[in-house]
Structure 1
Amino acid sequence: MLSSETSSKARALGAVVLSGTSFQVGAAFGALLFPAVGATGVVALRMLIAAPTLLLIGRPRFARFTRPEFLIIGCLGTAMATMSLALFAAVDRVGLGVAVTIEFLGPLTVSLLSSKRIVDAVCAVGAAAAVVLLTGFSGNSDPLGLVLAFLAAAMWGSSIVLNARLSVALPGTQGTAAAMAVAALWCIPIGAVSAGSALLDWKILLIGVGAAVLASVIPPLLELFAIRRLTRATYGTVMALYPAIAALAGLIVLGERLGGTQWVAVALICTSSAAATLSAANSPHHNTNHPRGADTVRGEPTSDGTHPHPPIMCKDPATRCTACVCASEAAKPTVNTVSAASRPTDRSEKEYADG
């Protein structure tokens, strides 16, 4: 019989897999609405659910934000909006599996650029090979779709770096929630103009809300359960399976069939991501402890007391976490500068920590 600790970890591993499955299936069901409302309309529907949800969780105190904090929030929100719009436009053109696999290159690149370890150089070669397989030999006839997927990847990586700076200046999820509100202000009007009255159709609303709940509400709840029971390395390694889950969701829900070289590319990205995560976790120079001793998104430490999100992760364009302080070693020299410059002088450290 399994011990209670082993059983708990097994349930946590299952929760991470279910979280990724829920997100990708939600994205796939959202893609079913493309003919009716377009990619921007789907993003607008998701933002209508995601932004209020994250605002309720983060409860940002806008009156206490400083000008430098507002500037970073605006940049982060714009990056998140661009990421969401570009990703779903790419899904519309090249399919869910290919788009998500390419998008995964964003956080992976952020992690690899901050490292000089040999294993990470091998991971970079693997990721480069995956790009060649996806773009050069996949027979994909939509260059614009590939460009949009790479744009989503760049915006995901940028979001991680920006939120690494913001999460030190602002405690908890305040900064991420405020940035999501900014993203919604960009995406909802664009989607409403593009989709028009189709967004008011009750059938479309029903599917859209269901897809948004699958992708933006259920995953954070499952991850909250998982991060309390798993180490950062284990959590990140399991999350490296997400491109494969996306490809399977596209196959089952949307009937998208990847070729053999594309499946090899997906496997290379998953393997490179998992290896980079484990390499960072085992590095004696990598600071795995969160500055405030807890996860900036959920406020919960992992079972080993470290930051629960691996350096290459932070998922959903809607509610996916982008607040990984450990995401980029390269961002660390600027973190303290932003924190010191943006922190009000008329508040004590305890008052600031309390939000």
Structure 2
Amino acid sequence: MVFIVGATSQYAGAALGVFLFDTTEPATVAWLRAAAASVALLAWRRPWRVHWTRRTVAVAAGFGIVTLSMNIVFFEAIARIPLGTAVAIEFLGPVAVATLGSRRARDLLAVALVAIGVVLLAGVQVDVEPVGIAFALAAAVLWAGYILVGKRVADAGDGQDSLAVGMAVAAILVAPFVLIPQLATDATVFADPRTWLLGIGIGILSSAVPYALDQVVLTAVGRARFALLLALLPATATVVGAIALAQRPTVFELAGIALVMLALTISAIPTRHPAPEPPVPL
């Protein structure tokens, strides 16, 4: 349930982002998202009350940079290729994590079903721009990194504080590489109040809320199970699209949702260990 709330929030924020792509560079939208999320998380968590070492700050910063970089390359991808194709390619990351983290045959079956379901949901097209495919592949790699580093941060017990610090550090470090090109292209977007209002909404809905809830989920489940849960995102996006944007799912999309749900059900079935044999009487 926590994961569904986070996924719904993420796509509600993505819907706001559509209104900025006409005037603002994709990387700038991703940066506004991270900056707004970091301010919200810092105000909520107040992580300066926690004792930080160089190592914990470095891990948090790495987590933030991976997260922001993932958002930037994905936005750059969907600016060049269809959203469905980008989503399908990006899901190679979590699927790879789920496969590598599996120890049961049924998990491998679940991963295969997830892969097929995501392709059906995404509606993959092959005639696309190579640069867009490269950005989507980079997003897949970074998404896998987000799962691995995020699980490490969550296991340390300070996931939400680390997320707040990491997003803030990443927004500061990446700012020159994003804002200078935007200023050179069109500086007037920063004088438009709508840019900042939508940026704040995107940051809170698409980053602050879902990433904070991800830390709750990552604390409770393993990396492989979390990677499979991420396959709910296309299904959630389909529902949000149908309600908010009147985008009715096709038969293939409904089939994809069914396969994803089946995969999650298979993965959730606990392994039954055989009962120990009674001791042999002497």
TM-score, length-scaled by structure 1: 0.59
Does the CA contact (< 8 Å) of 1:33 and 1:42 recur in 2?
Answer: yes
Q: State the AA in 2 paired with 1:214.
A: L
Aligned residue runs from structure 1 range 1-355, under 5 A:
13=1, 17-61=4-48, 64-129=51-116, 138-169=125-156, 171-196=158-183, 197=187, 198-217=189-208, 219=210, 240-247=231-238, 249=240, 263=253, 266-267=256-257, 270-271=260-261, 274-275=264-265, 277-279=267-269, 282-283=270-271
Displacement of 1:275 in angstroms is 4.1
CA RMSD of aligned residues (A): 4.1
Deviations 1:55-103 (A, max 9, x none): 2333334984333333323332221121111111122223444434443
Deviations 1:141-197 (A, max 9, x none): 123323322322221221221233334445352222222122212443333223322
- Distance, in Å, in 2 between the alignment partners of 1:269 and 1:49 is 36
Q: Which blocks of at least 5 consecutive residues in structure 2 are unaligned?
A: 274-282
Displacement of 1:26 in angstroms is 1.3
Deviations 1:33-72 (A, max 9, x none): 1121111111122122101122233333498433333332
Deviations 1:243-262 (A, max 9, x none): 1232455677779898876x
Does the CA contact (< 8 Å) of 1:20 and 1:245 recur in 2?
Answer: yes
- Distance, in Å, in 1 between the alignment partners of 2:122 and 2:229 is 26
- Distance, in Å, in 2 between the alignment partners of 1:255 and 1:20 is 19
Higher RCO, Cα 8 Å, sep 6+: 2
- Distance, in Å, in 2 between the alignment partners of 1:276 and 1:190 is 44
- Distance, in Å, in 1 between the alignment partners of 2:197 and 2:140 is 29
Does the CA contact (< 8 Å) of 1:83 and 1:156 recur in 2?
Answer: yes
- Distance, in Å, in 2 between the alignment partners of 1:57 and 1:124 is 36
- Distance, in Å, in 2 between the alignment partners of 1:135 and 1:22 is 20
Does the residue aligned with 2:79 lie in a helix, a strand or coil?
helix
In structure 1, what is the equivalent of residue 280 of structure 2? none
- Distance, in Å, in 1 between the alignment partners of 2:149 and 2:5 is 28
- Distance, in Å, in 2 between the alignment partners of 1:250 and 1:188 is 31
Q: State the AA in 1 paired with 2:64.
A: G
Q: 1:136 to 1:252 in 2, by over 3 A?
A: closer
- Distance, in Å, in 2 between the alignment partners of 1:21 and 1:63 is 31
**Structure 1 vs Structure 2: percent identity of aligned residues?**
30
TM-score, length-scaled by structure 2: 0.72
- Distance, in Å, in 2 between the alignment partners of 1:140 and 1:250 is 24
In structure 1, what is the equivalent of residue 277 of structure 2? none
Displacement of 1:238 in angstroms is 7.6
Displacement of 1:218 in angstroms is 5.4
Q: State the AA in 2 paired with 1:57.
A: W
- Distance, in Å, in 2 between the alignment partners of 1:159 and 1:28 is 22
Q: Which blocks of at least 5 consecutive residues in structure 1 are unaligned?
A: 1-12, 286-355
Does the CA contact (< 8 Å) of 2:88 and 2:119 recur in 1?
Answer: no
Deviations 1:114-156 (A, max 9, x none): 1121111112333454677689963441233233223222212
Does the CA contact (< 8 Å) of 1:99 and 1:149 recur in 2?
Answer: yes
Displacement of 1:27 in angstroms is 0.8
Does the residue aligned with 1:93 lie in a helix, a strand or coil?
coil
